[in-house]
Structure 1
Amino acid sequence: LRWLQSSKEIRALKRTKEALQVGLVNFKKPESIKWELFSGGDESPHLFKFKTVKKRLDWSSFFPEDIDENDPTNSSCPNMPMPSVPKNLTLDLVVASIPCDSPSNDWARNVNCLQAFLAAAKVAANTGTDFVYVALCGKCRPIPNLFVCQELIEHQDGYWLYKLNLKRVRGLLALPVGSCQLAMPPKAKVEHVESREAYATILHSAQSYVCGAISLAHSIRSTGSTRDLVLLVDESIRLDQRQGLELAGWKVFTIQRIRNPKAEPSSYNEWNYSKFRLWQLTQYDKIIYIDADIVLLRNLDFLFDLPEITATRNDQSLFNSGVMVIEPCNCTFEFLVDNIGSIDSYNGGDQGYLNEIFTWWHRLPGTVNFLKHFDNNTVENRRKLQLFTAEPPVLYAMHFLGIKPWLCFRDYDCNWNQDQLHIFASDPVHAMWWKIHDTMPAELQKFCVLQGTQKFLLEWDIIKAKRKRYPDGHWKIKIEDPRWHGVKSQSVRKRRRLLED
């Protein structure tokens, strides 16, 4: 109360009103007496109460690992009680008390905090026309994709004051409360400014992914999308590669890499926090980010109707950042960078980090980011293979895990030649990528040649697979790929020593 009394924004608002109409969310009645003088009129503040979520429900109840994605009617979210809001009530200010004693490790996945944040948003959305001020009191950071930083007016310690865009908030509240149901595009037609929307990917420290990015661009255009294609690269991408990427349709921007301070030098995740640069693409209102080891089979433009963060499930209550909807914003970028040292990533990379920031996310069906992953479940593997190879396509996007197709020979999936990579091996799915490759113009295919160093590594894998006599027998297959025979292995002496050993 004292903090709001000293707020320049609220004092300016009060000068335009005879009395402020104030709503209190999650306050007890005795506490409301203090607010009567603050409002400046005879009318008492409006109290909004709600029953707390049942104790047996935890975060995984609202963000479960699995739901029935084939028949959405079989999936439902647990009840999260919300306050009732009288019709025709207009408020100037909504104040919410957030039940968070301290920012402990689990506060970002606290169901009671989520309920209070959503209750405050609901009261605001139903008591204003375009904008309503919302003050949040509590030590827990507000949900960043519900209470967005560009609408933040003032912040001090455990107090936040927002001027909420109610059209945006109403759209969010129309979605399921968690990932317990699929997020579907709104039935009402959404107005688009297509020049403000784009697909994007990023290449950092990874020349080996140039072919992947080219095939991704080709696949996006093959689905009929005309949105901009934006590619972020660092200085490791050569000029001729950059020209090839531009020829494929990418608008290429050079970035400064962002190092993960907790990663080992030269490790796979040393620079993958560079993905945060996507939030600096503020010339766009919405971005569909797609990893460069993915190809599209069907048009994904409908994702532009959905908000940040919309993605597919990874495991447990987490999303997979390989395909996700984001909304560029400089202050979000600054927040991501400023907290690198204090927020831990469960997998040491950008996916784990983003999951700690955006704990409240919206679920897409797995067909939007279908992972090339097989386990010991024969029935499930057969179902996956049917989805991968269906004609016409059922999947929207295929995500190639393990050794990428363009870093392998055409003849078979070379993931078979490493025991720990068998879970990513499938010859029919491997062949599907090459089918897409063969539809690319010749001037783009030349960026998918096999380099000598990679050929050497593949040869070494064959040698090891032969020694271990893997029962699948792929190591016996003679390689006919012209890319294989058109390049010499790096370090012939080293190759001979390995063969002799």
Structure 2
Amino acid sequence: MDADTLVMKNIDELFEREELSAVPDIGWPDCFNSGLFVYRPSEQTFNGLIEMAARDGSFDGGDQGLLNQYFSDWSTRDIGRHLSFIYNMTLVSTYSYLPAYKRFGKNVKVIHFLGALKPWYCSYNASLGKLNTFIGNDQQRCFIEKWWQMMFTNVHPAIEQLNLVGSMSNMAIDNPNQPSPSSTSTSEATAAAASTEDENRYQAWQQGQMDYLGADSFDNIQKHLDESIGHGQ
């Protein structure tokens, strides 16, 4: 599941589905949307995907193109691998086909905040339980507010606890090698510049503008993955 999905109801039944099960993409139904899919962990499949990525790349520059290339028989082999739209409903569809949402919306199990409209970009008033300002339809507002409500109920308390523990740890450490104000300012400026660059790249990805021949090339992504896995061991 993508990080921009929100589970509304229990979906344990998906574990009974076969590989590769997914929801048809709203833009091109002969392809599946990789925001949610069912697969079986397999070293052989992993190696096959890596080999295909290195040899052919991805036709859309992202994971969805690569996965659809690898599981190319998804649309024709077995209709049982086609999941219902309720497992990957996008906000765009609630607007473009509102009658269907009114008829089937109560059955939705997973919401996918596809595109540039992400809940964490919206301003939310926790005391009122509502968004401060929002340009969109009522259904979109409702789902984004549900995301925020779940975040404040289940996630925010854990973040506050971690911040409290981190603050107490920092207070308990007496660091004799504390950097000078000038070096600190330089470090902060460098970090801010890097953060801006990362944000710009992220926005480009959300709009489908990946630089997969440059900064977002397979080699660079593989290098980042190797470094992250190495640090975690």
* TM bucket normalised to smaller: 0.5 to 0.7
Which residue identity is paired with 1:352? Answer: G
Q: In the alignment, does 2:7 pair up with 1:296? A: yes
C-alpha distance in structure 1 between counterparts of 2:132 and 2:101, whole Å:
17
The aligned counterpart of 1:406 is 120
The aligned counterpart of 2:187 is none
Which residue identity is paired with 2:153? Answer: T
C-alpha distance in structure 2 between counterparts of 1:346 and 1:428, whole Å:
34
Q: In the alignment, does 2:101 pair up with 1:384? A: yes
3-state SS in 2 of match to 1:434 = helix
Which residue identity is paired with 1:297? Answer: M
Q: Deviations for 1:279-322, whole angstroms, at most 9, x for unmatched residues?
A: xxxxxxxxxxx111111111111111111101110123101111
Q: Is the 8 A contact 2:17 2:38 kept in 1?
A: yes
Q: Where does the alignment leave 5 or more consecutive residues of structure 1 unmatched? A: 1-289, 417-421, 458-501
Distance 1:308 1:415, change over 3 A: farther
C-alpha distance in structure 2 between counterparts of 1:446 and 1:326, whole Å:
35
Higher helix share: 2
Distance 1:309 1:414, change over 3 A: farther
The aligned counterpart of 1:443 is 157
3-state SS in 2 of match to 1:364 = coil
Q: Deviations for 1:178-201, whole angstroms, at most 9, x for unmatched residues?
A: xxxxxxxxxxxxxxxxxxxxxxxx
- After TM superposition, which residue ranges in structure 1, 4 or more long, deviate above 6 angstroms? none
Q: Deviations for 1:115-158, whole angstroms, at most 9, x for unmatched residues?
A: xxxxxxxxxxxxxxxxxxxxxxxxxxxxxxxxxxxxxxxxxxxx
Distance 1:376 1:323, change over 3 A: closer
Q: Is the 8 A contact 1:312 1:320 kept in 2?
A: yes
C-alpha distance in structure 2 between counterparts of 1:367 and 1:387, whole Å:
8
Q: In the alignment, does 2:73 pair up with 1:356? A: no
Which residue identity is paired with 2:21? Answer: T
Any residues of structure 2 matched to 1:72-471 within 5 Å, and which?
290-314=1-25, 315-361=28-74, 362-374=81-93, 377=96, 380-384=97-101, 387-388=104-105, 390=106, 394-401=107-114, 402-410=116-124, 411-412=130-131, 416=135, 426-440=140-154, 442-444=156-158, 446=160
Q: Is the 8 A contact 1:370 1:398 kept in 2?
A: yes
Distance 1:303 1:353, change over 3 A: same
Distance 1:407 1:386, change over 3 A: farther
How many residues are treated as equivalent by the alignment?
151
Which residue identity is paired with 1:366? Answer: F
Which residue identity is paired with 1:303? Answer: L
Q: Give how far 1:344 is off.
A: 4.3
Q: Give how far 1:429 is off.
A: 1.9
Which residue identity is paired with 1:342? Answer: R
Compute the RMSD of aligned alpha carbons: 3.3
C-alpha distance in structure 1 between counterparts of 2:20 and 2:55, whole Å:
21
C-alpha distance in structure 1 between counterparts of 2:108 and 2:147, whole Å:
14
The aligned counterpart of 1:146 is none
Q: Is the 8 A contact 1:413 1:426 kept in 2?
A: no
3-state SS in 2 of match to 1:440 = helix
C-alpha distance in structure 2 between counterparts of 1:319 and 1:347, whole Å:
13
Q: Where does the alignment leave 5 or more consecutive residues of structure 2 unmatched? A: 75-80, 125-129, 162-191, 200-233
Using the aligned pairs only, state the percent identity. Answer: 27
Q: Is the 8 A contact 1:405 1:413 kept in 2?
A: no
C-alpha distance in structure 1 between counterparts of 2:95 and 2:13, whole Å:
34
TM-score with structure 1 setting the length: 0.27
Q: Is the 8 A contact 2:94 2:101 kept in 1?
A: no
Q: Deviations for 1:212-264, whole angstroms, at most 9, x for unmatched residues?
A: xxxxxxxxxxxxxxxxxxxxxxxxxxxxxxxxxxxxxxxxxxxxxxxxxxxxx
Q: Deviations for 1:446-481, whole angstroms, at most 9, x for unmatched residues?
A: 49xxxx989xx9xxxxxxxxxxxxxxxxxxxxxxxx
C-alpha distance in structure 1 between counterparts of 2:119 and 2:87, whole Å:
20
The aligned counterpart of 1:109 is none
Q: Give how far 1:413 is off.
A: 8.2
Higher radius of gyration, 1 or 2: 1
3-state SS in 2 of match to 1:324 = strand
3-state SS in 2 of match to 1:347 = coil
Q: Give how far 1:409 is off.
A: 0.9
Higher strand share: 1
